[in-house]
């Protein structure tokens, strides 16, 4: 495992979208600024989706404008479920998006209201229309679905192959409802990397069953190029029954920093922002450090 670890925070999207009460745009921007100040190099700052489906994201363009004006070279990206979302992201000024579709046919229909073929058609349309846009693919329910149960590895490899043929070179394997366990993480990542050694694979792990940190660490050991976490563990897919919080960014950073890995992230600054987020947002937080009153020397040495 490389000593340099890229931790990507997706809290402003995957965390905020789970909160029913609208979070003021100014508060969202303040939290994102805090994550950037802590040293996180890449953040999924919003998603471009229908306001009817997820009202929380109705200020996506405003958030992008505020962050990009202050940090023009920062690696900010957004999640999009379809061509219209990609169009909105491009018009807002983003250079990178992550499209999402589910390995599970049932979850794909519940999450983005499309069949697999319809989602594949959307990906092709995005690639053809915006050839200069950096596009990665999030494959939701890679490690299990609340509707279908276990998803075969062969089906994952087949889907990756179809998306690769369209022109996508980077994928994030997502544990949407936290069903994964270490040997499953190992199986899926090793199979994907063996079948497609030229592609980039990232990990997005939820902490539903208290295995988020462990599974994320195993993914890194299996060659994940980056790992996605959410500030304070805020999150839970609104279209997946049983989904709870994400793996906490500050909890993972604490473990990695203490274990000698280079994240480039200041734990104390990140924890301060995480505690602030919890104080102003009424949401599902699964992080642990946000509930600990530690002696200052413990925090500063993390």
Q: Which residues are catalytic?
A: 237
**Close Cβ partners of 38 (under 8 Å, ≥ 6 residues apart):** 265, 266, 267, 269, 270, 273
Q: Provide the β-strand partners of residue 7.
A: 227
**Distance set, CA 267 to CA 146, 166, 252, 270 (Å):** 34, 39, 10, 5
Cα separation, 224 vs 2, whole angstroms: 10
Q: Which element (helix H / strand E) includes 162?
A: helix 153-166
Cα–Cα dist 162/105, whole Å: 15
The helix or strand, by DSSP H or E, that contains position 30, with its residue range, turns out to be: helix 25-37
- Cα dihedral 119, 125, 126, 132 sign: positive
DSSP 136: E
Stated length of the chain: 302
Distances in whole angstroms, Cα of residue 62 to Cα of each of 46, 109, 153, 196, 293: 10, 29, 39, 38, 35
Q: Which residues contact 123 (CB under 8 A, 6 or more apart)?
A: 99, 101, 135, 137, 163, 166, 168
Residue with tokens 């050839």, as numbered in its chain: 131
Tell me if residue 28 falls in helix, strand or coil.
helix
């Amino acid at each position: 495992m490389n000593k340099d670890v890229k931790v990507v925070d997706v809290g402003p999207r995957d965390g905020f979208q789970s909160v029913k009460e609208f979070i003021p745009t100014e508060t969202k921007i303040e939290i994102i600024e805090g994550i950037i100040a802590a040293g996180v190099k890449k953040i999924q700052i919003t998603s471009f989706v229908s306001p009817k489906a997820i009202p929380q994201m109705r200020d996506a363009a405003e958030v992008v404008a505020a962050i990009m004006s202050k940090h023009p070279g920062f690696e900010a990206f957004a999640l999009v479920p379809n061509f219209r979302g990609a169009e909105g992201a491009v018009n807002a000024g983003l250079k990178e998006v992550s499209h999402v579709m589910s390995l599970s046919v049932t979850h794909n229909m519940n999450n983005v209201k499309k069949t697999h073929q319809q989602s594949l058609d959307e990906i092709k349309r995005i690639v053809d229309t915006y050839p200069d846009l950096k596009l990665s693919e999030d494959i939701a329910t890679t490690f299990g679905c609340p509707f279908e149960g276990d998803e075969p590895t062969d089906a994952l490899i087949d889907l990756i192959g179809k998306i690769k043929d369209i022109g996508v070179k980077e994928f994030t394997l997502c544990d949407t409802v936290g069903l994964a366990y270490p040997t499953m993480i190992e199986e899926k990542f090793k199979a994907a990397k063996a079948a497609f050694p030229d592609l980039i694979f990232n990990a997005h792990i939820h902490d539903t069953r208290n295995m988020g940190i462990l599974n994320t660490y195993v993914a890194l050991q299996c060659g994940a190029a980056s790992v996605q976490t959410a500030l304070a563990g805020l999150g839970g897919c609104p279209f997946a029954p049983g989904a709870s919080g994400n793996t906490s960014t500050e909890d993972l950073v604490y473990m990695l920093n203490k274990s000698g890995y280079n994240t480039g992230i200041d734990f104390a600054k990140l924890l301060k922002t995480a505690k602030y987020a919890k104080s102003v947002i009424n949401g599902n937080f699964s992080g642990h450090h946000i509930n600990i009153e530690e002696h200052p020397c413990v925090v500063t040495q993390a």
